Chain A
Amino acid sequence: MKGLWLKDMKLLKNQKSFLAVIAAISIGFLLSGQNPSSVVSYMMVMCSILVISTIAYDEQNNGLAFLLVLPVSRKQYVREKYALGIGLMLAAIVAGEILSVLVSLIKPSVYEKEGWIVVLLASVLMAVLIQSVTIPIQLKFGAEKSRIAMLVAIGCVALAAYFVVKIADSRHMDVGMGIVQLVQNDRILFVGCGLIVAALLMGVSYAASLQIMKKKQF
């Protein structure tokens, strides 16, 4: 799997300009007084998109077929993509925090420790959701068709979220307030619940991707 990992690192090296734009926008946000945690959140979401770009690169000119005749199993390929996704998420957190500290030396900002964990967890969930939806779609439909599939999937997720809130409203439940209360009353439970949801999402997505790859024909 190390070979695949190295290949993806080389591919990401080719995305230098994309990474530079993310860094520049993040610095801009920080200098304009944005909350550092929202910048970390932005970086995580953008880095999640990079996983998809490595799959798109692999698929160019039927290249995935060639990768699979190298000593790589279909399972290893899928596993490496999810590991890369998690790795990029962690890298975005570290890079975002370092950037926030560095920018705060020039322009001190109010570091909201209270809200930090909530925003960070929400960002992790969002990044996991993006990866969980996009990786199997990209593997199933390839670079061209996946754009349409991705729009449909985003629509479905938005609709699902809308209905959850609607149903909660009809039962006089305030989802936002519920989360705030959970954060205030039991932070450990909140983080635990968030991480379990993230792990579940990724687990289901990984199983789906594995099935897609096993059935993929070249």
Chain B
Amino acid sequence: MLRLENVKKHYDGFDLDCSMEVKRGFVTGLIGKNGAGKSTTFKLILGLVGREGGHVEIFQKPVEQMGPKEKERLGVVLSDSGFNGVFTIQDLVPVLKNLYPRFKEEAFLQKCRDFDLPIHKKLKEFSTGMKQKLQVLTAISHEAELLILDEPTAGMDVIAREEILDLLREYVESGERSILISSHISGDLENFCDDIYMIDKGKIILHEDTDILLDNYALLKVTEEQYQKLDKTYILRRKKEAFGYSCLTNQKQFYQENAPQIALEKGSIDEVILMMIKGEEK
């Protein structure tokens, strides 16, 4: 569905060099702290900024060749952009109907009502969360095959976030559609994505299936003495702590079996990110 190969972008004080892939039927997450390069990656994918190297393919076609026909197959949420605030949802319906031949007017309006979005109110009077909901509902209103969602749950309360994620889960149920989603709320992605890319300072520092990430990754809490004796074959990162070291492993079972005396914490995405970014290589 989507492939980035050694895509490079340079800004003053920031360099992005990114390779990633979103497969058909997959929900792929892109996670990283603010300024890590998530939005730049999205803009490169959508051809909104030029790149200095590498190539981007959507639907097996270089992004430069992507015309309106291909864009009809995309649903996009941008974190810092959207429809002008002077419009109402009612105003947008004929516009969307004419832009997307497969636009489902009734379903779109019904979903807007379900999510308590006022049809006749100007968008500038919407809260941030409401605007994001509208963008997501727009993205799924025309049977897009690939959703590219940059921080789609930003500004939403926990209930709205869960509702939107449920809606997206339902959307990809058929297995024919894919999603690339970014969020700085790792909990959103933990229970939603099939695989996750972690980005930091413009580089992909980890790519893993979510199940593996949650099942096989763990934090070992070891004293200085335990650390010296520890088999470090499967230690990815370590971090100095008051008690000794925290060590990130991607082979939880190995340490459970071979060092049962060591305190072991199940890895959450937040912990993995923290260790991958802040931790040092062994």
Which residues of A are interface residues toward B (Cβ below 8 A)? 2-3, 6-7, 10-11, 14, 57-58, 60-63, 65-66, 68-73, 76, 215, 217-218
- Are A62 and B72 touching (Cβ within 8 A)? no
Residues on B with beta carbons closer than 8 Å to the beta carbon of A73 = 67-68
- Bitwise, B88-132 to A at CB < 8 A (1) or not (0) is 000100111111100000000000000000000000000000000
Partner of B84, one of A57, A76, A215: A57
Residues on B with beta carbons closer than 8 Å to the beta carbon of A58 = 84
Closest to B94 in A: A6
- Are B83 and A63 touching (Cβ within 8 A)? yes
A62-B80, A217-B48 given as contacts; is B71 within 8 A of A69 (CB)?
Answer: yes
Q: In whole angstroms, how far apart are the Cα atoms of A6 and B83 in the complex?
A: 14
Partner of A69, one of B48, B50, B67, B84: B48
Residues on A with beta carbons closer than 8 Å to the beta carbon of B86 = 11, 14, 57
- Are B78 and A66 touching (Cβ within 8 A)? yes
Residues on A with beta carbons closer than 8 Å to the beta carbon of B50 = 215, 217
For the complex formed, measure the closest distance between the CB of B76 and the CB atoms of chain A, giving whole angstroms. 4
Q: In whole angstroms, how far apart are the Cα atoms of A2 and B84 in the complex?
A: 18
- Bitwise, B9-43 to A at CB < 8 A (1) or not (0) is 00000000000000000000000000000000001
For the complex formed, measure the closest distance between the CB of A214 and the CB atoms of chain B, giving whole angstroms. 10
- Are B81 and A3 touching (Cβ within 8 A)? no
B46 at the interface (CB under 8 A from A): yes
Q: In whole angstroms, how far apart are the Cα atoms of A7 and B229 in the complex?
A: 68
Q: In whole angstroms, how far apart are the Cα atoms of A70 and B100 in the complex?
A: 9
- Bitwise, B134-173 to A at CB < 8 A (1) or not (0) is 0000000000000010000000000000000000000000
A71-B69, A218-B48 given as contacts; is B78 within 8 A of A65 (CB)?
Answer: yes
- Bitwise, B158-199 to A at CB < 8 A (1) or not (0) is 000000000000000000000000000000000000000000
B49 at the interface (CB under 8 A from A): yes
Beyond A2-B98, A66-B81, 11 additional pairs, beta carbon < 8 A: A6-B94, A6-B95, A7-B95, A10-B87, A60-B85, A61-B84, A65-B48, A70-B99, A71-B68, A72-B99, A218-B43
How many positions in chain B have a CB within 8 Å of any CB in the partner chain? 30
A11-B84, A58-B84, A62-B81 given as contacts; is B76 within 8 A of A69 (CB)?
Answer: yes
Residues on B with beta carbons closer than 8 Å to the beta carbon of A65 = 43, 48, 78, 81
For the complex formed, measure the closest distance between the CB of B33 and the CB atoms of chain A, giving whole angstroms. 22
Closest to B131 in A: A61
Residues on A with beta carbons closer than 8 Å to the beta carbon of B96 = 3
- Is chain A's binding surface mostly helix, strand, loop or mixed? helix
Interface centre among A6, A57, A69, A218 (most CB of B within 10 A): A69
- Are B94 and A70 touching (Cβ within 8 A)? no
* 5 interchain residue pairs of minimum CB distance: A3-B99, A3-B98, A71-B68, A218-B48, A71-B71
- Are A69 and B69 touching (Cβ within 8 A)? no
Closest to A69 in B: B76
Q: In whole angstroms, how far apart are the Cα atoms of A110 and B48 in the complex?
A: 55
- Are A217 and B85 touching (Cβ within 8 A)? no
Q: In whole angstroms, how far apart are the Cα atoms of A10 and B82 in the complex?
A: 16
For the complex formed, measure the closest distance between the CB of A76 and the CB atoms of chain B, giving whole angstroms. 7
Q: In whole angstroms, how far apart are the Cα atoms of A166 and B100 in the complex?
A: 55
B220 at the interface (CB under 8 A from A): no
Partner of A71, one of B46, B78, B84, B100: B100
Closest to A215 in B: B50
| 25 A/B residue pairs, CB under 8 Å, sorted by A | A3-B95, A3-B97, A6-B95, A10-B95, A57-B86, A60-B84, A61-B81, A63-B81, A63-B82, A65-B48, A65-B81, A66-B78, A66-B83, A68-B48, A69-B71, A69-B74, A69-B76, A69-B148, A70-B71, A70-B76, A71-B68, A215-B50, A217-B48, A218-B48, A218-B49
Q: In whole angstroms, how far apart are the Cα atoms of A54 and B252 in the complex?
A: 58
- Are A10 and B85 touching (Cβ within 8 A)? no
A62-B81, A65-B81, A66-B83 given as contacts; is B68 within 8 A of A76 (CB)?
Answer: yes
Residues on B with beta carbons closer than 8 Å to the beta carbon of A218 = 43, 48-49, 81
